[in-house]
C-alpha cells in the first residue's frame, strides 16, 4: 500500500492538470500503430511489484513485436515521485505507469494520462473500474487480486470448510490455533480478514456510524483461539509447515510461492461465502510518454485474454479481461461472486487504526 500522506500530495498535484489526448494515434489504423511502435523499439514500464517475474513474462512481448521492455527497480513512492517530477517535461522517462486501483479515485486519470483508450482492439473486454477506482477510459485494469482463505486439505475436511462468519467462529473454537491472519501492518491479507470480520459482526447502522466495536469484541472473545502472524508470507510459511490449517491469504501470492516451490502445491485457496475483498491494479500511459505507440501496443498485449491467462497460470492473478479463463485450478467461477469491495481508504484507515489500538495494543 502507498503511504497515504504521500498520496494526498500526489492527488493535489494531479487535480490541477488538464486533459491530454493521444495526439494523432487515435486516428491511425492499428497496424500503423504497431509499425510505429516497432520503429520506436522500446517501452519503459514503471511497476512497483514482482518486477523480476514481469521481466520474464514480458519476454513474450519482446519476441512477438521486437520491442524491448524495461522495468526499472523501484518502490511505489519512488515511482510516483518520479511520475510527478516529470509531469511538466515535454517527454518523460515513463511510457507505462502502474496505479493501484483504489488510487484512481483520488485523481482524474484524464488529467494526465493519454487517452481515451477506447480505440484499443480489445477495449470492450477490458475493465476501467477496479478496487473502487475508475480509469475513465484513460487507465485500464491489468492485474486482479483476491483475498480469501488458504488451507491444507490434508488437515481440513473440504466439505466442512467454514462458509459463514458464524461457521468460522465455530471452527476456530473447535480448532484452537488452527486459524491465523497477519498483522495488517505486515500485509493486506490480514487487513482483508479484519474488514471481513467487521462486515460479519457489525450491523449496517453501526457501519454507517463508523462504530466497529462489535468486531473488536469478537477479536477479544476469540483471542486465545486464533493465531496472529507478522506478515502475508509468515502466514503461508507457517501453514506450509503445519502450524496452521487455515490462514487469510492472497490468491496470487499463494500461487506465486507455489510456482517457486516455496509452498507445497497441495495447499488450496477459497473465497468463503461471508466474503473477502478483491481488487487490483491499473495501467495508464503518461501524456508525455516518449514511446506512445509502443506503450499502446504493450497495454493491448498486457491486458489481452492470452496474456491475462498467462498471468493467471504463472502468477495467480485474477482475470480482468472478459475473455480470460482465470487461474487454472483456482477458485471456481461461482466463488468469485463472494468477492467484496474494500472499504474506502478513509474507512480502511480508521478500521486498521482501531484494530491496532483496541486489539493489538490492548493485550
- Please tell me the distance from the alpha carbon of residue 200 to that of residue 273, in angstroms, as a whole number: 11
**Phi-psi region at 289: left, alpha or beta (left = phi > 0; alpha = psi -120 to 50):** beta
CA dist., res. 253 & res. 237, Å (int): 12
Q: In the numeric block, which cell numbers belong to residue 118? A: 477506447
Structural domains of the chain, ranges and CATH numbers in brackets:
4-145+279-315 (3.40.190.10), 146-278+332-360 (3.40.190.10)
User: 280: which strand partners?
Assistant: 144
pLDDT on residue 26: 83
Q: Single out the residue of 208, 156, 199, 157 nearest to residue 179, CA to CA.
A: 156
Instruction: List the chain pLDDT tens, one digit each, 363 residues.
Output: 343 434 444 444 444 444 444 457 888 999 999 999 999 999 999 999 889 999 999 999 999 999 999 999 988 888 988 988 898 899 999 999 999 888 888 888 998 899 999 999 999 999 998 887 899 999 999 999 999 999 999 999 999 999 999 999 999 999 999 999 999 999 889 999 999 999 999 999 999 999 999 999 999 999 999 999 999 999 999 999 999 999 999 998 998 898 889 999 999 999 999 999 998 999 999 999 999 999 999 999 999 999 999 998 888 888 799 998 766 666 777 888 899 989 887 888 899 999 999 999 886
* pLDDT for res 15: 45
Amino acid at each position: 500500500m502507498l503511504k497515504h500522506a504521500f498520496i494526498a500530495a500526489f492527488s493535489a498535484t494531479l487535480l490541477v492538470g488538464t486533459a491530454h489526448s493521444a495526439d494523432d494515434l487515435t486516428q491511425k489504423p492499428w497496424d500503423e500503430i504497431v509499425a510505429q511502435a516497432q520503429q520506436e523499439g522500446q517501452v519503459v514500464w514503471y511497476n512497483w511489484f514482482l518486477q523480476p517475474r514481469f521481466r520474464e513474462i514480458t519476454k513474450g512481448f519482446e519476441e512477438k513485436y521486437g520491442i524491448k521492455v524495461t522495468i526499472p527497480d523501484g518502490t511505489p513512492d519512488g515511482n510516483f515521485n518520479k511520475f510527478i517530477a516529470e509531469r511538466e517535461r515535454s517527454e518523460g522517462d515513463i511510457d507505462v505507469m502502474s496505479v493501484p486501483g483504489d488510487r484512481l479515485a483520488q485523481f482524474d486519470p484524464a488529467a494526465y494520462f493519454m487517452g481515451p483508450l477506447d480505440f484499443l482492439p480489445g477495449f470492450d473486454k477490458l475493465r476501467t473500474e477496479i478496487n473502487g477506482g475508475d480509469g475513465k477510459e484513460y487507465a485500464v485494469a491489468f492485474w486482479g487480486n483476491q483475498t480469501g482463505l488458504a488451507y491444507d486439505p490434508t488437515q481440513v475436511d473440504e466439505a466442512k470448510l467454514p462458509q459463514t462468519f458464524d461457521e468460522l467462529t465455530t471452527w476456530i473454537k473447535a480448532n484452537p490455533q488452527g486459524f491465523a491472519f497477519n498483522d495488517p501492518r505486515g500485509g493486506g491479507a490480514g487487513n482483508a480478514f479484519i474488514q471481513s470480520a467487521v462486515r460479519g459482526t457489525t450491523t449496517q447502522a453501526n457501519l454507517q456510524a463508523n462504530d466497529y466495536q462489535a468486531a473488536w469484541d469478537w477479536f477479544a472473545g476469540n483471542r486465545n483461539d486464533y493465531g496472529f502472524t507478522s506478515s502475508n508470507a509468515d502466514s503461508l510459511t507457517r501453514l506450509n509447515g503445519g502450524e496452521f490449517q487455515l490462514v487469510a491469504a492472497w490468491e496470487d501470492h499463494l500461487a506465486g510461492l507455489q510456482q517457486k516451490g516455496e509452498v507445497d502445491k497441495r495447499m488450496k485457496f477459497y473465497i468463503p461465502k461471508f466474503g473477502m475483498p478483491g481488487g487490483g491494479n491499473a495501467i495508464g500511459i503518461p501524456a508525455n510518454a516518449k514511446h506512445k505507440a509502443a506503450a499502446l501496443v504493450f497495454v493491448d498485449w498486457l491486458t489481452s485474454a492470452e496474456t491475462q491467462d498467462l498471468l493467471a497460470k504463472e502468477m495467480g492473478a485474477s482475470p480482468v479481461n472478459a475473455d480470460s479463463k482465470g487461474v487454472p485450478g483456482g477458485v471456481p467461477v461461482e466463488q468469485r461472486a463472494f468477492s467484496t469491495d474494500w472499504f474506502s481508504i478513509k474507512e480502511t484507515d480508521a478500521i486498521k487504526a482501531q484494530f491496532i489500538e483496541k486489539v493489538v495494543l490492548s493485550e
